Amino acid sequence: MQQQEAAGQAPRTSLHGHWSSRLAFILAVTGSAVGLGNIWKFPYLAGQNGGGAFVLVYLLCVFVIGMPVMMSEILIGRRGRRNPVATMALLGEEEGHSRRWQWVGAMAVVTGLFILSYYSVVAGWTLAYVQKSMSGVFVGASPAQVSAVFESFTGSWAQVGIAHTLFMAVTIFVVARGVERGLEQAVKFMVPALILLMLILLGYSINSGSFGLGFKFMFSPNFAALSWDGVLAAMGQAFFTLSLGMGAVMAYGAYLPEETSITSTSAVVILADTAIAILAGLVIFPLVFANGLNPSEGPGLVFDTLPLAFGQMRGGVFFATIFFVLLAFAAWTSALGLMEPAVAWLVEHSHRTRAQAAVMVGGLVWSVGFGTVLSFNALSGFRLLRGTIYDNLDYITSNVMLPLGGLLITIFAAWVMCRNSSADELGGAGAIFKSWRFLARYVAPVAIAFIFLRAVGVLG
Ligand code: PFF
């Protein structure tokens, strides 16, 4: 009875207003999705995990798990229309279950902050690379010279710390002022410009002589090179790149107008995000092979390959500068999504102003970020469990917390919410709804649980 009432209620509105259009929402979610995950993280993970097989598993995870999870997050967000913690509590109760679902929201918020702590450090690298590109150090540089620039920069905790501080400061500033229309505008310009520059780089890569090798590395699957840990990394990356499992998309969904189609919106965002990651791989791997670099070198991969290409290109100083500016922007729009749920929660729970909340949350994240800053220099020799402090943070957030968050969110949407409520959000109980429900009830949860248990060694 309670469930039927829930399904038949009048539409709820968000306290913070709604997106002006479907395009505005698509841009905001795309802005959150497209970031360092596509251009920095995807290529280096693919490189570390043997290429083709990783890419294939990643693509499968994006479409088979990512799509239903994204739809689940948006539909929960739109139905609750509050911050992720409050939304989960409200809907948990309304659907006749328990307010305790709020802990899923709380876990999501904490995950976002941990991710931001290292995301900001790498975003700081891109800021530093704007300045380095402008200075012309990469012009005509050899692979050894380019990697020496990276080593000496990341080797200095002070330089990396300053860049991280700068990036956090701008993020705090924008979050404090509220997510303005300016950002929507920035995304509208930034994503196409980033694609354009990537296409220019692709042209260069195609002519570099090793395009075939790079292409083969990315698309011919060698399953012998992929461990279960690599499969888990591919799934973690699917969550990371689509900003899933931590309430960011849920928070944005809260401002989505009633009549917008959740399915087609998710499809557009997922296709755009995937296209950019694949494009990044197609640019980077040919450069790796053309220059005798090691595809599995890790987080420095992009910073060691792209400057080489720019350094040999006519107008390279200009293009390199623009590229790193755009990458910093892409990181920035993602960072806002990482911080927003925590700030929204603090504002609603403690009656602090938005500016105070942004400074408090940002300050905390900034200090935790020094763990990552030091992972590449003073504490690079300090190893526990998975490696450096950065390696551990990355593993726990991407490979454990995001899939767990995504699993619980999907279970909530597909099993706890009554059929009428979810059908209501997905535009009726037609074929799309049925496919979503099948994927969200069975396929995604089983796949997530299986991959996770297999990778940690519980299943065989
Ligand atoms: N999706 C972003 C990227 O690929 O760079 C990272 C991210 C942003 C994850 C926002 C989660 C999030 F809420």
pLDDT of 170-218, one tens digit each? 999 888 887 555 566 667 777 788 888 889 989 988 988 799 999 999 9
CB 369 near ligand 1, within 6 Å = no
pLDDT value at 10 more than 80? no
Closest ligand 1 atom to residue 40 Cα is 5
CB 126 near ligand 1, within 6 Å = no
Give the lowest-confidence range in 17-21, 147-151, 311-315, 351-355.
17-21
Q: Cβ distance 47 to 285 under 8 Å?
A: yes
Give the lowest-confidence range in 17-31, 109-123, 187-201.
17-31
CB 338 near ligand 1, within 6 Å = yes
Q: Which of 11-20, 238-247, 312-321, 342-351 has the highest mean pLDDT?
A: 238-247
* Interval between CA 335 and ligand 1 midpoint (Å): 7
pLDDT value at 8 more than 80? no
Closest ligand 1 atom to residue 42 Cα is 4
pLDDT value at 220 more than 60? yes
pLDDT value at 390 more than 90? yes
pLDDT value at 168 more than 80? yes
pLDDT of residue 460: 66
pLDDT band at 7 (very low <50, low <70, confident <90, very high): very low
pLDDT band at 344 (very low <50, low <70, confident <90, very high): confident
pLDDT of residue 194: 84
Torsion, Cα 389 235 190 261, to 10 degrees, reads -140
CB 237 near ligand 1, within 6 Å = no
How far is 149 from 135, CA to CA, in rounded Å? 12
Q: Cβ distance 115 to 338 under 8 Å?
A: yes
Q: Average pLDDT over the chain, rounded to whole?
A: 91
Give the lowest-confidence range in 66-75, 145-154, 209-218, 341-350.
341-350
CB 236 near ligand 1, within 6 Å = no
pLDDT of residue 1: 31
Q: What is the pTM of this model?
A: 0.94
In terms of Cα–Cα distance, which of 45, 20, 1 is closest to 295?
45
Among protein residues, the one whose CA lies closest to atom 11 of ligand 1: 243
pLDDT of residue 442: 98
- In CATH, the number for domain 25-455 is 1.10.4160
Average pLDDT, integer, range 85-104? 96
pLDDT of residue 5: 38
Q: Which of 62, 115, 194, 302 to mutate to test the pocket of ligand 1 (most atoms within 8 A of CB)?
A: 115
Q: Which of 338, 399, 401, 409 to mutate to test the pocket of ligand 1 (most atoms within 8 A of CB)?
A: 338
